Structure 1
Amino acid sequence: MRLPAFYRWLLLVVGISISGISLAQDAGWPRQIQDSRGVHTLDHKPARIVSTSVTLTGSLLAIDAPVVASGATTPNNRFADDQGFMRQWSDVAKARHVARLYIGEPNAETVAAQMPDLILISATGGDSALALYDQLSAIAPTLVINYDDKSWQSLLTQLGEITGQEKQAAARIAEFETQLTTVKQRIALPPQPVSALVYTPAAHSANLWTPESAQGKLLTQLGFTLATLPRGLQTSKSQGKRHDIIQLGGENLAAGLNGESLFLFAGDNKDVAALYANPLLAHLPAVQNKRVYALGTETFRLDYYSATLLLKPACRPVLALSESYPTDQTDLVSRINAPSSASIANRRRLAKTT
């Protein structure tokens, strides 16, 4: 017996609806995300994400998350472009037309104007908009993200789960791990342990990266050993909450920089020269033996882009590295790239025979 046309149409509509629900469930939406404020339900995959933290934005861009706007830092300096976006991902942000929300001080009205369906806040740091949580959470689902206690890879994985970009996050991490393996096979480690820091010459102070920081974890992945602070050293942590840096100043500066080698994140050769010129640090073994190395100005905010930039020169084809670690260069990356004397000899021999 044939069903009337109306009933056939009704069954078709119901079937399509059930299929749609099933597909949505298979895709993982809605999904629940937990942060320090509790459990949040995201009904659908975000399509308009606002990142109030310039630190988080780079990782979101790396996994192709739909970021429509971002907080910014002070523009037009060696770290940031004319928008106040980090230079390592500045071109990506411009290509994707990411709007600048504000510089420094968070503004809820500016966030609301972007009509976001997801807002991300950093839990700590100078780019945190945590004070506006109540206002922002009234606009759209708002998540608080800790980036000061994990590697950039762990942060990427977390953001991938939040945004539904898990595959992209895994692919980026896999790309980096391949490069990391290559570098570890070629790199010649300087005397250990090392101190990793951001040096501020004008204030004669430094922020020391801890083993919990993304910078510290990257060095550990490369095979370096981080120096342990002397017992009883009086230090402070930024804002009393951060896990990634320890502030050093005054007499504690020299005592805290007790590594056999010093690695300057967010620094260049000018910062190395300034550290060498500080008379209070002249007695340090790393200074006396010229083992202070700049890792580039883009490494202050460590993410997929800056971490890859740190390794990229080391991935150029080289035949070998010198077994004796040179001390007359301040750029670690160029040193990783430098061929050994045996390599040079091989190249000369090949040149003669061709």
Structure 2
Amino acid sequence: MYKRDFWAMIALFFASMLVLSGVAHAENGWPRTVQGAKNSITLQQAPTRIVSTSVTLTGSLLAIDAPVIASGATAPNSRLADAQGFFRQWGDVAKQRGVKRLYIGEPSAEAIAAEAPDLIVVSATGNDSAIKLVDQLSAIAPVLVVNYDDKSWQQLVGVLGEATGHEAQAAARVKAFDDHENALKSKLTLPPQPVSAMVWNGDGRAVNLWTAESAQGKLLQQLGFTLATPPVNIQQGHSMGQRKDIIQLSGENLAAGLNGNSYMLFAAEDKTAHAVMNNPFLKQTPAVEKKQVYALGLDTFRLDYYSASNLLTRLEQLFVKS
């Protein structure tokens, strides 16, 4: 009898250890609650079928090896995108991993549902936002709403890493980039400061000026650049009154808003720099007069690990003396 009681106690002890181990595992792994831009979501286990409704966020998911099965896209074969409508800096990676294009532009709840996702990622702002469909998409799978207009790409992969269980991959990408960035910073000979960092659209009738809260602005500042501050009345021109990363300039505000001593042109190649220097509205600005206008590559419209790494290479070519 005592023998049976002894073995019963041993069994109870090991059962208790298993329960405690399970609790610890749950606390450190899954389920987990992730805070999004609009609300928090609880995920029972690491997602294995992620749909990204935002072509901007897809690159950051791919960078941390998250299991993205499908993504929204932008206009194919454009200056920014490949034949799939995926951004050029990670289009080959998406192809290698078999990422499916769901739609171009306008999001489709039906197309998303057909992929049977266990996590749907939505951007809170921007032209690739599916924010209006969140309630509908929440009936399909947990929906993580992410702001990218107030974060560096490093902060962004941190959020996505937590949501996908790929924290280690996110940390590794950030460390590799930060090491590269720190090594470059010590070698840079900066152009005349401050700088106006922008996306020049077409003939210059509309320009998006990157703010200090944008991923582009954050990266430049980390490297020692100083962003020019437009006049207060122009600073009220944030896109749609919602986005924090850009100020839209046009018409009479163009020259006044682009008051930096150097121009940094994102999503641009050399021919764009020539167009800016030949623009009649800007010919009296210091940057154009002194030909301090620099194109930073077509793939810098949205910054993720891939495009930010390419940007460092471009800055090295421009501002490191051989």
TM-score, length-normalised on structure 2? 0.92
Tell me: CA distance 1:205–1:29, structure 2 relative to 1, closer, same or farther (3 Å): same
Query: CA offsets, 1:12-61, max 9 Å, x none?
Result: 99689647734641542111122243332111111111110000000011
One-letter amino acid matched to 1:190: P
8 Å Cα contact 2:36-2:146 kept in structure 1:
yes
For 1:200-239, list aligned pairs within 5 A. Answer: 200-233=201-234, 235-239=236-240
In the TM superposition, residue 143 of structure 1 has moved relative to its aligned partner by 1.2
SS at match of 2:233: coil
Distance in 2, matches of 1:310 and 1:61, equals 18
Q: In 1, distance between residues paired with 2:3 and 2:91?
A: 63
Query: Is the Cα contact below 8 Å between 2:189 and 2:321 reproduced in 1?
Result: no
Q: Write the distance in 2 (CA, Å) between the matches of 1:16 and 1:72.
A: 49
Query: Does the 8 Å contact 1:201/1:274 carry over to 2?
Result: no
Contact conserved, 1:118 with 1:141, CA < 8 A, in 2? Answer: yes
- Residues 1-354 of structure 1: pairs in structure 2 closer than 5 A: 18=19, 21-22=22-23, 24-25=25-26, 27-233=28-234, 235-312=236-313, 332-339=315-322
Which amino acid is the alignment partner of residue 222 of structure 1?
Answer: L
Tell me if structure 1 keeps the 8 A contact 2:255–2:285.
yes
Unaligned runs of 5+ in 2: none
- Residue-pair matches, total: 318
In 1, the alpha carbon distance for the partners of 2:14 and 2:92 equals 46
Partner-residue secondary structure (3-state), 1:286: helix
What letter corresponds to residue 107 of structure 1 in structure 2? S
Q: Which AA in structure 1 matches 2:188?
A: I
For 1:216 and 1:209, the matched residues in 2 are separated by 6
**TM-aligned CA distance change 1:167 to 1:192, over 3 Å:** same
Q: Percent identity?
A: 59
What's the offset of the Cα at 1:200? 1.4
In structure 2, C-alpha distance between the alignment counterparts of 1:309 and 1:59, rounded to whole Å:
14
Amino acid at match of 2:177: F
3-state DSSP of counterpart to 1:197: strand
Relative to structure 1, the CA distance from residue 103 to residue 186 in structure 2 (aligned partners, 3 Å threshold; closer, same or farther) is same
The question of whether the paired residues in 2 share the 8 Å contact of 1:123 and 1:130 is answered with: yes
DSSP-derived class of the 1:169 partner = helix
Indicate if the aligned counterparts of 2:191 and 2:319 stay in contact, CA closer than 8 A: no
1:268-299 superposed Cα distances (whole Å, 9 cap, x missing partner)? 11111111111111000000000000000100
Deviation for aligned residue 1:201: 3.1
SS of residue matched to 2:171: helix
User: Counterparts of 1:34 and 1:120 in 2: how far apart (Å)?
Assistant: 13
Please identify, of 263-272 and 10-19, the stretch whose mean Cα deviation from structure 2 is larger: 10-19
Preserved CA contact (<8 Å) 1:234 1:252: no
Q: Structure 2: how far apart are the matches of 1:14 and 1:83? A: 53
TM-score (norm 1): 0.84
User: Which amino acid counterpart does residue 56 of structure 1 have in structure 2?
Assistant: L
* Aligned partners of 1:261 and 1:291 also within 8 Å: yes
Maintained 8 Å contact 1:196/1:262: yes
Q: Considering only CA atoms, is the larger Rg found in Structure 1 or Structure 2?
A: 1
The whole-number CA distance in structure 1 between the counterparts of 2:48 and 2:40 is 20
- Which amino acid is 1:29 matched to? W
Q: How far apart are residue 95 of structure 1 and its match?
A: 0.9
Contact 1:72 1:104 in 2 (8 A): yes
Higher alpha-carbon deviation: 219-228 or 201-210: 201-210
Q: CA deviation at 1:75?
A: 0.6
Preserved contact between residue 31 and residue 43 of structure 1 (Cα < 8 Å): yes
Q: Which amino acid aligns with 1:175?
A: A
* CA distance in structure 1 between the aligned counterparts of 2:256 and 2:210, rounded to whole angstroms: 15
Match of residue 347 from structure 1: none
CA distance in 1, matches of 2:155, 2:235: 30
Q: Please give the alpha-carbon distance, in whole angstroms, between the structure 1 residues aligned to 2:15 and 2:140.
A: 34
